[in-house]
Amino acid sequence: MSTDIIQVLPDKSNRLDLCNQIETIFFQTSSVQHFPSEQARMIFKDRWLTPYLSAATTEFYSLWVAMEESRIVGYLTGHSNTLRFRADHEHISLSLFADLHDDFPAHLHINMAPHQQGKGVGASLIQAYLKELQSKKIGGVHLVTGPKARNTSFYRRQGFSTECIRTSGSVDLLFMGQKLD
């Protein structure tokens, strides 16, 4: 079955349906699987997903999906100006690496549905986003993950070669950056 990589622009007619499918994958793949309350679940979603789905009307937000027929099997959310993003959505994974955002201004989040992982589709989503950033003359992009996460080898293969580990409380976070031409 062929997989299409599609940019979801703000005026896409079935955007609401697509956002609901993205939310399903977000919770399937989230590092947190059990929430003490529905409110805690919503706070988590509003931190990591909602800004990218609801505010995608500006030039800074990006939303890419991988589709098989009419089903989303993975998505990538991004913002091309992390300094600006932080003005409304501050979080430790951003503030901890604030000094690196001039060199790597854009950031991204990516998740593939569980049955779709390891098939090479995540790489296509990343490459589509990198091309979009290059066309906008953005000089660099980054993401934050855990230093022991399995996905680090994936990001290294996609060209995220600048690495920086910092600690917040008892948690180690890994910044992975890539300069763009």
Min separation Cβ 169 and ligand COA, Å:
19
Q: How many CB atoms lie within 10 A of CB 160?
A: 22
Main-chain phi, psi angles of 5, to 5 degrees? -100, 120
Alpha-carbon dihedral 99, 132, 9, 95, rounded to 10 degrees = -10
Cβ closest to ligand COA, residue 18 vs residue 110: 110
Min separation Cβ 116 and ligand COA, Å:
7
Residue of 45, 48, 24 whose CA lies nearest to 35: 45
Site residues for ligand COA per CB under 6 A: 29, 110-112, 117-123, 143, 145, 150-151, 153-154
Cβ closest to ligand COA, residue 13 vs residue 153: 153
Cβ closest to ligand COA, residue 114 vs residue 137: 114
Q: Which SS3 state, helix, strand or coil, does residue 148 take? A: coil
Q: How far apart, in whole angstroms, are the C-alpha atoms of residue 113 and residue 152?
A: 18
Min separation Cβ 4 and ligand COA, Å:
15
Min separation Cβ 112 and ligand COA, Å:
4
Cβ closest to ligand COA, residue 145 vs residue 178: 145
DSSP letter (8 states) at residue 138: -
